[in-house]
Structure 1
Amino acid sequence: MSKQLSPKFKDYTNTFFSQAEPLSAEKRNELILTYTPLIKYIAARLAARLPAQVSLDDLISCGIIGLIDAINKFDVSKNVQFKTYAEFRVKGAMLDELRALDWVPRSVRRKTTDLEKAYADIEKKMGRPATDEEVAQTMGLALDDFYKLLDETKSVSFMDIEFLRQKSTETSDPTLAETFAMDDRDPFTAINLSQIRELIADAISDLPEKEKLTVSLYYQEELTMKEIGEVLGYTESRISQMHSKAMFRLRTKLKKTLAN
């Protein structure tokens, strides 16, 4: 199955860019208008996983700044499609804004840390992925309360993985690792992109099958949580919980690997 939901644009690189001539104001404006739907798509995809207080319009505004930055810095001699480069700059600008806002309450981050520790302790002891029941029991929660906690912390688990910083834009076919951006406070900054790719690939391969499929469909096929639910036969909420669990497992596995 291969469904591509992101907006499809003709590659306008040859139309707009020339190694010999700078872009005219008219061409710059035309390029901005051409890629505005891409900005809205990326913003909506991020906003769908964030609290209501994060403004979609603010994300779009940041995306426009990212697009202008891409136009200013794009080098046609690098043999990279402008759309690929623009996506990187647009998403990076939005993530930088989210990072600057520091919109996650300390109480939620504390719960996220507690969840991550529970997964790490159980998986170290058992030598296999922790079950929902085991994590709930470790945290002293009823199973329903555990699922509520996953819902409450989903934005943090999602954005922490999104903050794996893309180190290279010189590729026409970004991997999963290259769609992530990195928080400077994160220990992942200590390793290079090729190591990140290998670590993430290994960590994903160890996920429970349904969580692995959820991650693949969300990040590689770019399906929404609702669409993944339709494919797998689960509610959108259940898919969101699977995604959150996968993110906790990935962070646990990556931190463990980096600590060794």
Structure 2
Amino acid sequence: MSPVSPVLTDFIDLVDVALATISRSLPDYVGRDDLASVGKLALISALAQCNGSTDEVRAYCFVRVRGAMLDELRRLDPLSRRDRGRMKAVGAATAVLGARLARVPTLQEIANVAQLPVSDVIAVQLATALAADATAFEWDALPDMEAISPDEAADVEDLGASLRVALTRLPANQALVLRRYYLEDALLDDIAGELGVSRERVRQIREAGEKKLRADFVVLGLWQSFFSRDGE
């Protein structure tokens, strides 16, 4: 099949499918239409880069569209990655201490367990309160599977499990990057730090893995069944 425009309408439904797997409780300043626009641009770009059967193209485009939407949400996250890390540390320390002490822990107790200065604990608690008031959105919960029906969630979970099996057929570095990026929603910068390589090198590894994964017809069969629609 030839890439792009004549077939765009045949794949536009992937934007709605990808949007359904992310979340309905979006921040006020992030509308579904905005994310859909990001997804449509990613779809156009993906179609321009992918040749193959309809099943191959649908598989590739879904991953690209959903990835673009998640990247946009991460970009709009009001807290930095450092803030998120400190927030997780403070949250974990608070939960552990609360269960152990059967009372609300003091700032100093939280700071000791989280291994942070008291000033950082105060800043994190303030940032948490402000972020909650401003967005009411679970940034750490992306993607939010509760936003779709139980049947859809089960399908996505089954697909994720099958994709993990397919990743075992890739070289170790490609499998790791694809697993972290697409199944665990890690940032390219985070993966680069874990591997000790540049962000650009991680992107190259990801693209090489995507190319090999598109050729995995076992996975493509799963994608085909997942995306089957009445009348197709």
**TM-score by structure 1 length?**
0.41
More helix by share: 2
- Greater RCO, CA 8 A, separation 6+: 2
Query: What TM-score, normalized by structure 2, do the two folds share?
Result: 0.45
